[in-house]
Each structure stands twice: as structure tokens, then as C-alpha cells.
Structure 1
Amino acid sequence: MTTATATAAPRERAARASSSAPGLGAALRAEWTKLWSLRSTYVVLALSVLIGAGMSALISLAVGVGGEEEIPAGVDPAAQALAMAQIGPDLAVIVFVVLAGGFSAGEYATGLIRLTLGVGPRRWRPLAAKAAVLSGVVLAAGLVVVLAAFLASQAVLDAYGMATVGLGDDGVLRKVLLQAATLPVFPLTALALGFLLRGTAAAITTAIAVMWLPAIIGALLPDWVRENVVRYTPGTAVGNVVGTTAAASPTHMDPWPAAAVVAAWLALSLGAALWSLSRRDA
């Protein structure tokens, strides 16, 4: 009887601690405060706009100075103008990845992860809170980045008398909004990798490799590999969601199946992060 009571006592204490632990709302407020208490957050957001708008404007300037001969034969000038607006945000996502990697893995370096997990025994809550806060910030900042890059690039092209596109043109606003909506994909991947690898540099490097390497290496591979393997990698799937992949490319996929591939990759990475949080000590 005494043994049974002694065994039940820790379980009762754990149950009371779990029931009295702060809920998801408190976790969201805590992660929001953590993110905005970092000076690097403000630096990253400023850099994202500078890189996004600046790189699109510089590339448009190079094309404008070169004239029409800078546009490859057979390429629609309007499509080229939109593509130049999208290059800057594609590069700016790197700084969001840096922010995300530090947001999760940084807590292991400082030891703050012990407090984060100690406050709430349900370990899915800090992961969900971090993912929600990061997604909201990147979505808001990403929309600014994408619009700034679009306006800057089209202004430069127009100054040189090159073909431009407007947000009211057919399909342009949709692609701009889709690019902004998909910007959190790789920061969320970096967030998950931070919990898995427990190192900021490792999480950032791996996320960038996942983002860029398949496309770089895939260009050197046979078409059947690109069609059956590279097409289903995260970066390629995101490009198909936005609509930046040519229909004739072996890696082309319709937007909805591509969105399903992106969702599957996010579920896999965040699920692995949750497993790591649940099974491994801080």
C-alpha cells in the first residue's frame, strides 16, 4: 500500500503541474517577447528589405543598361520583368533563415531552453508558439520585401524604357502574394532544424543547403531525375507554387500538388522537431 501511494504521488504532482502550466496563449506571448527582445531581429528585418529591394533593383539596372539584348531570345519581356522582381526576395529569405535558426537553436547555446521547457511540460507548446510567431513576422515582413522589390525593379526598368508589369496585370498580383506567402517555408524549416541539430550554424547551413542545392545540382542531372526526384524537393515545390517554373521544365508541377509537397515537407520537419523535443533532454 505504501509503495503504491509513493508511486502514485509523482504522477499526481506531474498531472497537477501539467494542468496548471501556462497555456498556448502564454507561450505565444513569451515567444513574441523573446523574438523582439533580440537586437538581431530588427537588423534582420531591415536587411531583408534592403537585400530584397536592392538586389532586384541592381539586376534590373544591369538589364536596363544592357538594353533589349540582355533579354534571352524567346523570353517574354513582361515575364522577364516579373522574374527580376522575384530575385531579390528569393535572396532575402536567407536572412529570415538566419533569424529562425537563432530563434530555436540559440536557446541551447544560452541555456534558456531549460527554462522554456521547464515552464510548460507539454513540449509541443513552445514549438507551436515559436512557429506561429515566426510565421507571422516573416509573412508581414515578407509582404513588405516582395512589394518593395517589385516596385523598385519596375521603376528601374521603366527609367530605361524596358518592358514592365503592374500589379493590375493578369496574374501578377497573384504571383506577388504567393511569393510572400511562401517565404516562411524555409525559416520554419530552419526553426525545426534548430531543435534537431541544437546548433545555430548547423541549422542555418542545412536549411540553406535544402533550399538551394537540389536546384543547383539538379540542373546537371538527367531529365528523368529532375522529373522524379528534384521536382519533389522543397525549393522546387515552392517555385511551382509561386509559378516561377516554366511549364516545359521537367521539374514543373501544378500549384496545388506542389503546395501539398511543401506542406508534407513542413509537417516532416516540424514533426521531427517535436519528436526531438519530446525524447531528448534539454
Structure 2
Amino acid sequence: MRHVLPAEWLKLHSVRSSRLAILLALGGVLLGFGIAQMAVGMYDSASPAQQARARIAELEEVVLIVPQLSLGILGVLAMTSEYATGLIRTSLTVVPRRWPVLTAKAAVVGVIGLVTGPVVVFGTHLVCRWVIGDRFSGLYQAPFSGKLPLLVALSLTVPVFALLGLGLGTILRSTAGGITLLVGLVYVIPMIVGNLPGPWNEWLGSVMISALARQISGDLTTPGLYGTSLPPPMAAVLLACYAVLPVLAGLWLLQRRDA
């Protein structure tokens, strides 16, 4: 295992698409900065009555789609690129037990997600505190300690997306299929669920991956698009399942299929 891990890091690091995915993920901070600047410009040009009613979403949650999707695609490519080039045969010949290959890939993409997530989430939050200041009813003037649980929970969704992508890529062995299913699971299905009649929209919305961070942190003061019926421990377990179960399913199939 100690030889497989550096090899998987080298393979991922040497692929241009991997570096591009990471840079795109980090670009979420720049996106948050740009949105904050536009919001401030609109706020400052508004009348006092309009300013009193003005509201803005928490931008670290808005831009989170960028690192989530970027790292999810990185996870898909970590496996499907080897199938596309035929390198998977070499990898499984050198490591015939197979499980160390996927475990090492999971460790690499998971660590990248654990680093990238907090950089984007905390970076965007700090940038917005600086740019927005006391505008929008002081949304970004709240004590940082009060927002810390939500920021940590949002950050953890990024490595979950990376592992979810890796699991889907291993199951499907297709880049297009893995990315399509990833987008469908986390963005298309929640939109469908949100349009269901109650209480189904609340129940099913609560288990959507995008709903879990706020339920884990207990920060339910801001109205959201999803349900909020899960207690924090159950939401945390479900978030972990989004990461672990696809990888385990991929491992089961990897050990039973031909390369």
C-alpha cells in the first residue's frame, strides 16, 4: 500500500485535467469576490428604503457548486482516465489484489478535497466579510464563531463530492456517464424533488446532499430550497454514506469485472 499511494498521487498530479479541475475549484473564491462586488455596487446605488429591504444569500454556499462539481469530476477522471488509456490493465497487473488501487485513489482525491474545500469556503467567507462589510442588514458582521459549524460542514461536502465522483467513475467506467450521473444525482433530482407536493418535498429534500450541511451544523435560520427534517447526527451519517457507499460499490465491481 505504501508504494501504491505515491504512484496514484503521481498519476493524478501528472494529468493536465486534474490540475485544471483543482484550479477551477479554487476559482470559486474569485467568483464569490466578483458576486460580492456586484452586490455592493447595486446596494450602494439603491435608495435607503431599498437598502433596508435588501438581502443577499450567503455567497460561500452559492459558489460551493464550483469546487463540488470540479472535485466530483476530478474523482470521476481519477478512474475513468485509466480505462480510457488502458493504463488500468497495467495498474491491476502490478497490484493484482485491486483494492489497494481504489483505496489509494480514494485517499488522494479525498485529501485534495479536504484541502480545497476549506480554502474555497473560508476564503469566500473572509472575502465577503471584507467586501460587503455591514451592508445587507449586517449579514457578514455576525461573529465568525457562530458561522464556524456551517463553514466546516460546507467544506466537508467537497471531499464527499470527490469520493462520490470516484465511486461513480469506478462503477460506470465512463467519463461521460459518471459526470452525467453526478450532475443528475446532486442537481437535477433535487430540483424535481423540490417540485413534489408536501410532505414528500420536505422528506426527500432533507436527504439531498445539498441539504445536509445546514442540517449538520444546525444553522437553519436561512430559508433553503431543501428540507430540514434530519437531526445533525443523522445528516452527518448520510453525508458520509454519499462518499463511502459508491466507493464500496465500485470496489465490489472492480474485484469482479475484467479490466
> If the TM-score is normalised by the length of the shorter chain, which range does it land in?
0.7 to 0.9
- 1:109 maps to amino acid: A
Q: State the Cα distance separating 1:194 from its structure 2 match.
A: 0.7
What TM-score does the superposition give when structure 2 sets the normalisation length? Answer: 0.86
Contact residue 153 and residue 217 of structure 2 kept, 8 A? yes
Q: State the Cα distance separating 1:245 from its structure 2 match.
A: 4.9
Confirm whether residue 61 of structure 1 aligns to residue 42 of structure 2: no
CA distance, structure 1, for counterparts of residue 19 and residue 217 of structure 2 = 27
Of 165, 173, 176, the residue aligned with 1:198 is: 173
Q: CA deviation digits over 1:152-193, x for unaligned, max 9?
A: 222221296862536853421222222212211112111011
CA distance, structure 1, for counterparts of residue 176 and residue 62 of structure 2 = 24
How many residue pairs are counted as aligned between the two chains? 252
Q: State the Cα distance separating 1:118 from its structure 2 match.
A: 1.2
Alignment of 1:1-282 (within 5 A): 24-50=1-27, 52-67=28-43, 69=50, 80=56, 83-158=58-133, 163-165=138-140, 168-243=143-218, 245-246=220-221, 251-252=227-228, 253-282=230-259
What TM-score does the superposition give when structure 1 sets the normalisation length? Answer: 0.79
Secondary structure of 1:121's counterpart equals: coil
Contact residue 196 and residue 273 of structure 1 kept, 8 A? yes
Q: Which runs of 5+ in 1 are unaligned?
A: 1-23
Distance 1:123 1:171, change over 3 A: same
CA distance, structure 1, for counterparts of residue 193 and residue 30 of structure 2 = 28
Secondary structure of 2:144's counterpart equals: coil
CA distance, structure 1, for counterparts of residue 62 and residue 18 of structure 2 = 23
Larger Rg: 1
Q: State the Cα distance separating 1:93 from its structure 2 match.
A: 1.5
- 2:85 maps to amino acid: T
What RMSD over aligned residues (CA atoms) do the two structures have, in Å?
2.6
Q: Which runs of 5+ in 2 are unaligned?
A: none
